[in-house]
């Protein structure tokens, strides 16, 4: 039997093999598409690596494997000449492929995720010229003294979702390990940044800020203070 009933009722009813079928089936369609095909063919040099990255992406999102370490937001912000009709074409091919899997649960899950991510990628692409940035390197002379727990959507304290600040003299270096996190400065300059795996942001002492997961993932904060205080 290709899909034995999982022992744990909360366990996903699909496997890595189903994800592979989805990704490979989808990219076979994309490559033959007259509008999307040329974009991928021009920009993806190592096709096997790209397919593996995409399998990791969907496996992380639907099976929680945490294998995906890429950065989709900047990857798409760099592509010239995207348009919403192009995303609609992408989504039409994706929905056609997910329907062919004959796994209604997985189909509904990935279709909804793809719609949400496409809307996000399109909105970031439109704003790409104005993508704000915040410092990602701590000033000299600071010593790390504590790491926070690894936060995920499940254990993220409410206090971090509302405006708060570090205590006087304490700096934070927030590192996103997986997923997509929005970091908002509630104090001037009132900027916000959307961070993906591997990206960091410096939290200055006393500056009020809060965070929200845009896509499930994890992050951690290293707290630092001036060397003399330690
Ligand atoms: C018009 C629609 C889209 C086009 C033309 C497109 C095109 C591309 C291209 C050319 C790359 C390779 C970029 C590079 O290596 O520099 C890429 C990467 C990727 N795409 Fe898309 N894409 C589209 C929509 C989407 C959507 C809706 C999703 C997710 C639901 C998605 C997920 C990804 C992921 C996860 C990567 C790997 C990013 C990384 O390098 O970390 N794409 N896409």
DSSP string, the chain: --SPPPSSTTS-S--HHHHHHHHHHHHHHHHH-TTHHHHHHHH-S-HHHHHHHHHHHHHHHHH--------HHHHHHT-TT--HHHHHHHHHHHHHHHHHT--HHHHHHHHHHHHHHHHHHHHHHHTGGG------SPPTTEEEEEEPPPB-TTT--HHHHSSB-PPTT-EEEEEEEEEEEEEEESSTT--EEEEETT-EEEE-TT--EEEEEEEEEEEEEEEEEEGGG-
State if residue 74 touches ligand 1 by the CB under 6 angstroms criterion: no
pTM: 0.64
Identify the CATH class of 16-128.
mainly alpha
**Distance from the alpha carbon of residue 12 to the mean position of ligand 1, in angstroms:** 25
Domain 142-226 coded CATH 1.20.140.10: no
Q: What is the pLDDT of residue 1?
A: 41
Q: Does 212 contact ligand 1 (Cβ within 6 A)?
A: no
Q: What is the Å distance from ligand 1's center to 44 Cα? A: 10
Domain segments of the chain as ranges = 16-128, 142-226
pLDDT averaged per 10 residues, the chain (length 230): 55 89 97 94 90 96 89 84 92 98 95 95 80 80 94 96 94 91 86 83 94 91 80
pLDDT at 9 (0 to 100):
63
* CB of residue 12 inside a 6 A radius of ligand 1: no
Q: Which atom in ligand 1 lies closest to the alpha carbon of residue 78?
A: 16
């Amino acid at each position: 039997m290709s899909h034995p009933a999982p022992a744990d009722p909360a366990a996903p009813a699909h496997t890595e093999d189903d994800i592979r079928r989805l990704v490979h089936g989808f990219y076979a369609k994309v490559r033959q598409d007259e509008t999307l095909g040329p974009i991928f063919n021009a920009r993806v040099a190592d096709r096997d690596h790209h397919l593996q990255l995409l399998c990791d992406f969907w496996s992380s999102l639907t099976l929680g494997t945490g294998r995906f370490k890429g950065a989709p937001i900047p990857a798409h912000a760099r592509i010239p000449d995207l348009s919403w009709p192009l995303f609609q074409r992408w989504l039409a091919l994706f929905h056609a492929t997910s329907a062919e899997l004959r796994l209604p649960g997985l189909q509904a899950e990935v279709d909804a995720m793809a719609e949400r991510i496409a809307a996000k990628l399109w909105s970031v692409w439109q704003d790409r010229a104005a993508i704000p940035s915040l410092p990602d390197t701590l000033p000299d002379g600071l010593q790390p003294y504590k790491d926070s727990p690894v936060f995920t959507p499940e254990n993220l304290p409410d206090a971090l979702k509302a405006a708060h600040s570090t205590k006087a003299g304490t700096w934070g270096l927030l590192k996103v390990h997986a997923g997509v996190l929005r970091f908002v400065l509630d104090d001037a300059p009132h900027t916000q940044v959307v961070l993906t795996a591997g990206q960091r942001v410096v939290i200055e002492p006393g500056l009020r800020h809060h965070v929200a997961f845009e896509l499930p993932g994890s992050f951690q904060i290293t707290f630092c203070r001036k060397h003399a205080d330690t």
